[in-house]
Amino acid sequence: MRFNPTTNSLKCDFCGGVEKIELKEGRVEAYPLESGLRLIDNKRIDSREVKCIRCGASFSLDYDMVSSNCPYCTTPAITEFVKPIKPNSLIPFAITPKEAQSRFKSWVGSLWFAPTRLKEFVDGNKKLTALYLPYWAFNANAYTRYRGERGDIYFVTVQRRVIVNGREQIVYEQEPRIRWTPVSGEVSNSFRDLEVSATKRLPVGLLESLSPWNVKNLIPFDVKYLLGFVSREYTIELRDGFMRAKLIMERVIDRTIRRDIGGDQQQIHYRDINYSDEEYKNVLFPVYTADFKWKGEDYIYLINGQSGKVVGERPYSILKITLLVIVIVTILAIAIYIDSHR
C-alpha cells in the first residue's frame, strides 16, 4: 500500500483497497535547542541494504535515504532512521503527481525565451519525483540593543548658473540634504517555526524559496505517510541549521531596528543580539522534483507538495532571443526607410 494524497489514506495498487490513517493524538512538540546540540552522530554509513517484502529482491538505498520503491516491482520499501534526531512531524502531500505536473507545465509555459526542448520535456510527461525532504524549524526570542544614526531629508535653496538659448541665467533650485542624528535603542523579536533546509542534496537557496509552508498543518510523524515516496534524513546538522536560521533572523532584526530608528534613512553601527528560548523541530516537507539538462548545464525544478508553488532556474534559448532582436531591428529599419522616403 502507498499513501494517496487525494484520500489522505493508504491505497493498495492491486486491489484498490483503502486503509485510513488514524491521526496520532497530541500536539507537535518543539525541543530545547541545547538538548539537540548535545546529541552526537556516531553512525557513518555509505548505503543501506533493503529487501523487498513482495519480490524478495535486495537493493541499496543512498546513505541518507529512508524510504523509496523497489526498483524491480515498485513496491514501497522503508528502512530505519539512523540519525540521532528523528523527525517528529511532517506535512503530508496535499497535491497529486498529476496536479503537480499540470502546475509545472503551466509554469514552464509562462517562461519567455525558454528552449523548445524544455517545453517538450514537460509535454512528454516525464515523471516527477515525489519525496519528503528534511527541514529544521526553529523558535527563538531575540532582544537587541543597537546604536546608529537617523537620517532626515531637508531641502535648501541653491543658486546655479545655466545657459538658456545661448544666454547665461541664474536659477534657484531645491537641493536635498540629510541631517544625521545619533540614536540608540532596543528592540525585541519573536520567531516561530522558522524553517531552513536540512539536506545538501538540493540547493539550499532553492529549497528555501519554496516557502511559505503552512506549518499549522504539521501533524505528528507516522511512517505510513512515507509509503510510496522517497524520503531522506538530514545531512545539515542541527548546529549548522541554526546558524543559517540566525542569518535569516538577523535580516529581520535589522528591518525592525530600521523601523525603530525611523526617519528617511538609517545607519546601523552596532547591534548586540541576545537569543533566548531557542527550540527546534525536525520536520519533513513534501516536494516534487524534476531536472533538465541544457547546453551542459543542469537545471533543477521544485514544486511545493503542499501549495503547488513552482521554483527553479530557467534556461534561455539564445536562438529565440537572437531571432527577436533580428525582427525588431528589421522593423526599425523598415520604419526608418519608409520615413526617409516620404
Query: Cα angle vertex 25, ends 21, 27, to 5°?
Result: 120
pLDDT for 104 equals 82
The grid coordinates of residue 184 equal 540608540
Give the residue, 108 or 229, on which the prediction is more confident: 229
Residue 12 CB contacts under 8 Å (≥ 6 apart), including other chains: 1, 18
pLDDT for 179 equals 96
Ordered by start, the domain boundaries in the chain are: 2-41+88-140+190-262+277-327, 45-82, 150-181
Please give the sequence-ordered ranges of beta strands (E in DSSP) within 198-264, or none if there are none: 219-220, 230-232
Rounded CA-CA distance 285/197 in Å is 10
Tell me what percent of the residues of the chain surpass a pLDDT of 90: 52
Q: What is the mean pLDDT of residues 262-279?
A: 97
Long-range contacts: 8-15, Cβ < 8 Å, 24+? 8/92, 10/224, 10/227, 13/74
Backbone angles phi, psi at 144, to 5 degrees: -130, 130
The grid coordinates of residue 8 equal 489522505
Q: Read off the pTM.
A: 0.83
Q: Following DSSP, what letter does each residue of 259-311 receive, concatenated?
A: HHH-SSEEEEEEEEEEEEEEEEEEEEEEEEEEEEEETTEEEEEEEETTT--EE
SS3 211: coil
